[in-house]
Amino acid sequence: MFHFSNFYHFSGVANLSELKSEILTLGERLQVIGLIILAEEGINATAASTDSMKLDEFTDELQNILQVKFRNIKRSSALLRRSPFRKLKIKIRKEIVTLGVEGIDPARDAGTYVEPEEWNNLISDPDVLLVDTRNVYEYRLGSFQGAVDPRTLNFRQFPEKLQKIIESQKPKKLAMFCTGGIRCEKATAVARQMGIEDVYHLKGGILEYFERIPSSQSTWNGSCFVFDGRITVNQNLEAKPEPLCSACGQVKTKSPETGEYECHQCVEYPMKKNQVALP
């Protein structure tokens, strides 16, 4: 049984190289594996262990090191055939989630958090345009009813796609969501930079919504792609088998145009192969 802890935090982080070494030492001591992205804007992490107590200790000590309190820590467990990570890997990047827009500060400019219990009421407002900030292959697996798919292959394409959506639909209000909250939080800062003042994002993302909203009250259709060994989960947060690409092992999704299963990761997916943006 593997236990997972997913978390992020937007705040100023300094001395990244020293911090990397300190976290690696902590991970080795507590036998935690995973992937952590560090940048001056904050931290984005997926940590895993077969020992849930050591994983909690790792998360607590990391908060002490950074002198922050992570807002949304997602904990989950799954029976996996193989380890989801080989070791603890820490990468220093310019951004903890790559958007490529200068001058964006989510800690300062992000929109309004909406608790999962209030989400259904918000998105039922006819003045609210609901936008999925995830990539097209994630949208194909599942999304909220009525959500707009920007048809991106990566998050860097999102600002341009969002600009076109705003110009064509001229929304009074925007509501955004993603898997765990990090992409939609950053996306709301972009939307506000584009002149939309009433911008909202789902606190804790889709996974928090699954945790707190009964499926009988849910407005979600399908499953949700997750960035760990489970690949996708249903609304009960149970791992849901999906067809995998025989070439690279990544999940395949059904094309709405052809009905065929395609891989977003490698040459099986022609849009990825040719690096052509979706229209």
The CA-atom distances, in angstroms, between 253 and each of 23, 43, 185 are 36, 29, 26
Amino acid at 174: L
Give residues with Cβ within 8 angstroms of 121, minimum separation 6: none
- Residue 267 to residues 24, 134, 156, 242: CA-CA distances in angstroms? 35, 21, 21, 19
Q: Give the Cα separation of 185 and 169 in Å (integer).
A: 21
In angstroms, rounded to a whole number, what is the distance separating the alpha carbons of residues 235 and 138?
15
User: Who contacts 42 (Cβ-Cβ below 8 Å, separation ≥6)?
Assistant: 8, 9, 10, 11, 12, 13, 96, 107
Q: Is 178 a catalytic residue?
A: yes
Helix (H, G, I), strand (E, B) or coil at 68: coil
Identify the active-site residue in 178, 184, 224, 263.
178
- H-type alpha helices, 69-153: 106-109, 116-123, 136-141
CB-CB neighbours of 221 under 10 Å: 12
The catalytic residues are: 178
